[in-house]
Amino acid sequence: MTKITNIETVQNIVADLKDKPGALLPILHAVQNSLGYVPPESVPTIANALNLSRAEVHGVISFYHYFRDHAPGKKTVRICRAESCLAMGGKALENHAKKTLGIDYHENTKDGKFSLEAVYCLGNCACSPAIQIDNDVYGRVSNTDFDEILKEHSA
């Protein structure tokens, strides 16, 4: 069985979506959904297929915070930055998370276990502040709760 490389994955996605109107964003989303990020080496393939410059493709990737240009950690910690969470101590939780993990948003821990991302609503406003790790959403998260949740996900 042969392993499909990142560039082959990108080529397949581009071939499937390049003829859609406004294909760039659907392609970038599909690449990120498939690989977890948009590899820099995929930019020329995408640009050529859509008759865009590499700068145009890179500009879209760098403009939208959703897109990553490097592989994510094994688990992604998302901290809600919407109004309700901020009003209920979300900024302090954000600072604690950054300090505890030793990273800022859009970065990975040195051991590659965690990535940190901001989100602007987890739909858990009644239980602010909220975080999400992979598919698990947690509400009313204190700094102590954060540390415990992180330990659970480190195992």
On whether residue 11 sits in a domain, the answer given is yes
In three-state form (DSSP H/G/I as H, E/B as E, the rest C), the secondary structure along 79-146 is EECCHHHHHHHHHHHHHHHHHHHCCCCCEECCCCCEEEEEECCCCCHHHCCCEEECCEEECCCCHHHH
Is residue 65 scored above 90 in pLDDT? no
Q: Which domain holds residue 28?
A: 6-63
Residue 1 lies in a domain: no
pLDDT tier, 10 (very low <50, low <70, confident <90, very high otherwise): very high
Q: How many other CB atoms sit within 10 Å of the CB of residue 95?
A: 11
- CATH number for position 119: 3.40.30.10
147 inside domain: yes
Residue range 85-94, pLDDT digits in tens:
999 999 999 9
Q: Which of 14, 38, 63 is at the close of a domain?
A: 63
Domain boundary among 63, 95, 112: 63
Please indicate, yes or no, whether residues 34 and 104 belong to a single structural domain of this protein. Answer: no
Q: Are residues 24 and 48 in the same domain?
A: yes
pLDDT on residue 2? 56
Is 70 a member of any domain? no
Confidence at residue 5, expressed as pLDDT on a 0 to 100 scale: 87
User: What's the number of domains the chain is made of?
Assistant: 2
Residue 105 has pLDDT above 90, yes or no: yes
